[in-house]
Structure 1
Amino acid sequence: MADDSRTETSSQLSSPTDHGSVDSGFLSGTPSTVSLPRISLTQPHLQHLNKQLESLHPMDILRFCKIFFPNLYQSTAFGLTGLVTVDMLSKIDAESANPQPIDLIFLDTLYHFQETYDLVERVKSRYNVRVHVFKPADVETVSQFEELYGEKLYETSSELYDWIAKVEPLQRAYSELKVAAVLTGRRRSQGGQRGDIKIIEVDDERGVIKINPLANWTFAQVKEYVTEHKVPYNALLDRGYKSVGDWHSTVPVGEDEDERAGRWKGQDKTECGIHNKQSRYAQWLKATAQREQQVQVA
């Protein structure tokens, strides 16, 4: 797959530091890795927007976001919710005499199913949308990745894998594309850490506004939309998968299981780090540095 968005990139990992309060009401970290959001929203304003948007149809939420937020992108792994968002955005563009498509950001971990890569091409063809592909820094293939980090890094050090394959590439995407706001495919019905997400959230660590336009939709509603509008979707969904990630950490789910039950099955995790307040690997780095400091003091 061609990668038209990777120009000057960096593979250097930065250790996080404690975040301090600032006058704007947001939190900030080290200047090299995070920044204040390019859009400034006070907490009262944010609460007001979420209250107004909560009862709106996702199409209306997307219409509002296209007008309100500059430098708006959609980050997607081409799951069902993200695909519904792509389709809705295409319909909104069709309403306008001067359409302004929203570009997509796709994190190619190099370990996606072939069915996922096939779907990316189908979506690009169907919607004529631009996809910015970001891979782990300084590698293009699985063999190059494993030459640098060893085989099965996702098993030997899953937090390091998440950082290298997902968290760092997303931060690089935000930086290179100057992303101010990003649409996600998260929904409350997916459970776990997503159970109480708002429509609009401030990611103060990464310096962007996150928007969850289908936050209050159920899996059944998403699937119904896909069927009704003939939205292209991952062939794996017809084989018992409900949520598709990397092939090494995704399995089919039972009829009555949660839709994300097939992700990291048997592991003590529900997120890969890109939606966490702080990546678990970054937390590990911080804890390790603190332990080393304590040893030196002792």
Structure 2
Amino acid sequence: MPESTSTTQSSPSPTAIFTPAHLKFINAKLEKLSAEKIIEWAMLTLPGLIQTTAFGPTGLVILDMINRIHIDQQAAANAHPTPASSSASEDDEDLDDSQTKFKKSGYNTRRHPVPLVFIDTLYHFQETLDLAQRVQDHYNIPLKVYKPQNCETTEDFERLYGKQLWETDEVSYDYLVKVEPGRRSYQELGAQAVISGRRRSQKGDRSHLNILEVEAGTGLLKLNPLATWSFQQVWTYLRAHQVPFNVLLDQGYRSIGDWHSTKPASNPDDERSGRWEGKQKSECGLHVDYFKMRAEFQATQKKKQALLAAQQQAVLEAQQQQVVQVA
């Protein structure tokens, strides 16, 4: 796990700024490209690009595509080296050994071009955690893991915030386990553009998703390269390219989040129907208005503090009353 700052800071100011007209023009162009070409364009164009994933099917497809694009780029560079690319560097250590492994495995063993971020909520299925390790081994990629602040284990989190916080205070839960760690990762990694696995076929708030978005208020760029794909297309790719995937997919799960709010899809036409069953909710907080989410969290915390102070005051007054009565 990477070293993390103890306080959440604002994300760096974006260096790529798009007007609404420019963004509309870019999206019209991106709509005509394949997912691979969209990702390749982003890798060459967008500053501070990272990928966040919970190792869902779409995120795994994107990771595999990034890896294959990188392999092709490295192969082209090796076939036509330039003075810059052929000069000695930290990446070129043990080059002969790396090239041998590269040829044998089909995967590039050198530095992955897009930092991969995993938000560990501490409530993931064990199958998801096992998959995270398999992915690291398969692609030889370092995983940047972010957890709730000052927490390494579920016990740490529940000692600070109580058990089943998702039932008693859903806003605080989402903010603490997903939003705050996510924003911390953006800050520490200098992220200005984030690749996500959202698709229109997932319905709900995602039905009218653009391929490239600008987050209101922060200017953060969000790229959804598989926005136009169906679940079947994702599934076909996983199988065809032998991409590691979550074994829960074979048990009827389609969208996999925390164990306490995820079930197998109840509606075969709605892959996210197994998430937050019985609740009017379709997003976890990572893809909603950040400032609104933070304001709601802060307001909730103030109410809790005020209630706790009132309770402590009531106890103190009761103790003082008992002293008076005894006297």
What TM-score, normalized by structure 2, do the two folds share? 0.77
Q: Match of 1:128?
A: 140
- Post-superposition offset of 1:33: 3.8
Q: Secondary structure at the match of 1:89?
A: helix
Task: Check the 8 A contact 2:262/2:274 in 1, yes or no.
Answer: yes
Write the distance in 1 (CA, Å) between the matches of 2:142 and 2:197.
18
Q: Does 1:193 align with 2:173?
A: no
Instruction: Return the match for 1:261 from 267, 273, 280.
Output: 273
Distance in 2, matches of 1:225 and 1:161, equals 34
Residues 79 and 244, structure 1, Cα contact 8 Å, conserved in 2: yes
| SS of equivalent to 2:290 | coil
- The code of the aligned residue for 1:152 comes to Q
TM-score normalised by structure 1 residue count: 0.84
The reply on whether 1:278 has 2:275 as its aligned counterpart is: no
Identify the residue that residue 80 of structure 2 maps to in structure 1. Answer: none
Per-residue deviation, residues 241-297 of structure 1 (Å, max 9, x unmatched): 0010000100012362410011111111110111012366435357779x9xxxxxx
Give 1:207 deviation, angstroms: 3.7
Instruction: String of CA shifts for 1:104-155, please: whole Å, max 9, x gaps.
Output: 1110000000000000011111111221100000110000100000011011
Q: Distance in 2 between the 1:9 and 1:104 partners? A: 21
**Bigger shift: residues 135-144 or 41-50:** 41-50
Deviations 1:62-115 (A, max 9, x none): 111110012211011100000000111111011112575211111000000000
- 1:47 offset after TM fit, Å? 1.1
Aligned residue runs from structure 1 range 49-68, under 5 A: 49-68=26-45
Matches within 5 A, 1:61-140: 61-97=38-74, 101-140=113-152
Consecutive unaligned residues of structure 1, counting only runs of 5 or more, are 13-31, 292-298
- Post-superposition, which runs of at least 4 consecutive aligned residues in structure 1 deviate over 4 A? 285-289
Q: After TM superposition, list the pairs within 5 Å mapping 1:1-298 onto structure 2.
A: 3=1, 5-10=2-7, 33=10, 36-97=13-74, 101-254=113-266, 256-278=268-290, 281-285=293-297
Letter in 1 for 2:4: T
Stretches of structure 2 lacking an aligned partner (at least 5 in a row) = 78-109, 304-327
Question: Does the 8 A contact of 2:261 with 2:277 survive in 1?
Answer: yes
Q: What fraction of aligned residue pairs are identical, expressed as a percent?
A: 45
**Aligned with 2:117: secondary structure?**
strand
Conserved? CA contact 1:34–1:205, under 8 Å: no
Separation (CA, whole Å) in 1 of partners of 2:270 and 2:205: 13
CA distance in 1, matches of 2:218, 2:140: 29
Cα 1:280–1:162 change in 2 (3 A) is farther
Q: Quick one: distance in 2 between partners of 1:287 and 1:165?
A: 17
Higher helix residue share: 2
Asked whether the equivalents of residues 61 and 238 of structure 2 are also in contact (C-alpha less than 8 Å), the reply is yes
Q: How many residues align structurally?
A: 268
Q: Which of the two has higher C-alpha Rg?
A: 2
Give CA deviations for 1:197-256 in whole Å, capped at 9, x if unaligned. 111001133442100000000111111111111111001010110010000100012362
Q: Is the 8 A contact 1:183 1:213 kept in 2?
A: yes
